[in-house]
Amino acid sequence: MWPHGSAAEYGPMNLSLLEILTLLSAATLVVARWLPAVARPRVTIAAGAVFLLAAIALCVTGIRWQLLPVLAGAVVAAPFAFSPLVRSRARRVRWWLALPGSLACAGLIATGPVTAWAFPVPVFPVPSGGFAVGTRVLQWTDPDRAETFTADPLDRRTVVAQLWYPAQNSPADAPRAQYLGRTEDEARTVSEALARGVGLPGFLLDGIPRARTHAIPDAPVAAEGGRFPVVLFSPGSSGVRTQNTAWAEELASHGYVVAALDHPYDSAAVVLSDGRTITSATVSAGDRAEDERLAADWTAIRAADLSFALTRLAGLVADPLTGRLDTGRVAATGHSMGGAAALQAARRDHRFDAVIDLDGYPHGPLSPALEQPTLALTQAVTPGTDPRYLPRLAEVLAHGTATNYRLTIPGAAHLTFTDGPLYLPPVSSITGSLGRVESPRVVAGASLAFLDSVLRKGSGDLAGALSSYGELIVVRPGTSR
């Protein structure tokens, strides 16, 4: 049994059992007024008792905002349901006067499951690979790089990395990793920062800190499997290291070590090991040319972070993963600006053997040419929606010296390539139209097909495998396709 607040407690309605009991008892209190007189007392008392106990339990365990209108509807309906039971001569309000009140209460109560569906506690897909998944967080400071976001010349660049790796099987009751942070407090800090970054009230995303993933914190590394290829990941602008947890867990279950980075002063919120929280300091200038210059600078910092993280991973000593990382087989990956950083990191650092760009506009210089095989996964972009994106991306891929691939995912949106579909409203312009289950499956499936082919020299038809996920363009050296 997972602890309270874990994803396992939330079913298809995105409500826990306790919340379902609260919802059903509240609805029964509204209906009780319309029942025949003989049934009304027993139904009202039973519903009232269940509602009271469930509401008290919710107050102890924590009430999600989605349940507040349910509680309000029940509180308003309760006096009208109980009044005839305590006043022997009480006359029932005429039906045409009672009906609007009952409908209003029912509307309030119905708001609960609707908003829980729109903003659920994310339930992560079960990884399909043969390995269990472990996770741990590391923090490194680069003594050779000054922190350019601060005025202190002695401040050195620090990055936080979360690793997902193949692990030994753990007991069924082993606690699963918190989503968005090592603790619920950290997860709530990050969740509120993410909400602020997109202009949403923090309470709308209060289900995220309740979520648990499938990884086990600090689980022993899998005994079998030899040395595992490494995948470095950079999140989107103001994104955080955990924003692609479903993707990372799927890759780790298939024998990869994924190291996702927080970029301090760029990520929405980074909680350091000493307890300090660093929030984003990247702000748009409002001028296209200046914003492009800033984006190129921030991308360069992220690219250096990726290379620095690879250096630290290659030099791990006295660590459970020491000797288990194959740093001769490494991919640079990222979403949005993180995808641009992955492209830049590969240009600068030939220790990277492959690149995956998840819907990222290529900021920064286009030279030198990419020498590593690259997979660019994109939403359906047209000249009308962004006239610069496809020509820029096509130029990057066409000037590469290896065979590159651009895969357009039908029904995808920008956040399809993150965990966003698991906890944001299923609005096609925001999270795409693939659905909460299909979105992570498609993105991880295409990524695995590419990584297995490039890093593991897998046999088979890579173009054919990628084509099963969308519209594929193969760009061979010296050609446009």
pLDDT of residue 453: 97
Burial of 60 (0-12, 13-18, 19+ CB in 10 A): exposed
Contact 374, 345 (CB under 8 A): no
Residue partners of 162: CB distance under 8 A and separation at least 6? 135, 136, 137, 138, 241, 242, 259, 260, 262
Distance CA 399, CA 476 (A): 9
Contact 98, 141 (CB under 8 A): no
Global model pTM greater than 0.85: yes
**Per-residue DSSP letter, 371:** -
Distance CA 334, CA 362 (A): 11
Crossing angle of the two packed helices 245-253 and 438-455, in degrees rounded to 10: 50
What phi and psi, each to the nearest 5 degrees, are found at residue 189?
-60, -45
Q: Is 144 helix (H, G, I), strand (E, B) or coil?
A: strand
User: Residues 39, 40, 45, 47: what is their CA dihedral angle, to the nearest 10 degrees?
Assistant: 90
Burial of 205 (0-12, 13-18, 19+ CB in 10 A): buried
Distance CA 469, CA 37 (A): 59
Tokens standing for residue 4: 């309270």
Distances (CA, A) of 201 to 191, 193, 197, 405, 425: 10, 10, 10, 39, 15
In sequence order, the β-bridge partners of residue 47 are: none
pLDDT of residue 92: 57
Distance in angstroms between the alpha carbons of the first and the last residue of the chain: 51
Contact 135, 164 (CB under 8 A): yes
H or E segment and range at residue 187: helix 184-197
DSSP 292-348: HHHHHHHHHHHHHHHHHHHHHHHT--SSTTTTTEEEEEEEEEEETHHHHHHHHHHHH
Phi/psi-derived region of residue 226, left when phi > 0, alpha when psi is between -120 and 50, beta in every other case: left
pLDDT of residue 115: 94
Burial of 123 (0-12, 13-18, 19+ CB in 10 A): buried
What phi and psi, each to the nearest 5 degrees, are found at residue 127?
-60, 140
Q: Is 405 helix (H, G, I), strand (E, B) or coil?
A: strand
H or E segment and range at residue 415: none
pLDDT of residue 309: 98
DSSP 337-404: HHHHHHHHHHHH-TT--EEEEES----S---SPP-S-EEEEE----TTT-TTHHHHHHHHHHT-SS-E
Residue partners of 366: CB distance under 8 A and separation at least 6? 395, 396, 399
Distance CA 303, CA 348 (A): 8
Distance CA 126, CA 239 (A): 23
Tokens standing for residue 317: 């000593």
Amino acid letter, residue 434: L
Q: Is 87 helix (H, G, I), strand (E, B) or coil?
A: coil
Topology (CATH) of 132-475: Rossmann fold (3.40.50)
Q: Which of 341, 429, 331, 412 is nearest to 377 (CA)?
A: 412
**Per-residue DSSP letter, 370:** P
> pLDDT of the chain along its 481 residues, tens only?
233 334 446 665 688 899 999 999 999 999 988 888 888 889 999 999 999 999 999 999 889 999 999 999 999 998 888 877 765 544 555 666 678 888 999 999 999 999 999 999 999 999 999 999 999 999 999 999 999 999 999 999 999 999 999 999 999 999 999 999 999 999 999 999 999 988 889 999 989 999 999 999 999 999 999 999 999 999 999 999 999 999 999 999 999 999 999 999 999 999 999 999 999 999 888 888 899 999 999 999 999 999 999 999 999 988 999 999 999 999 999 999 999 999 999 999 999 999 999 999 999 999 999 999 999 999 998 777 788 999 999 999 999 999 999 999 999 999 999 999 999 999 999 999 999 999 999 999 999 999 999 999 886 799 999 999 999 999 998 765 4
pLDDT of residue 274: 94
Distance CA 136, CA 382 (A): 40
pLDDT of residue 89: 47
Number of residues written out for the chain? 481
Domain assignments of the chain as residue spans, ordered by start: 7-118, 132-475
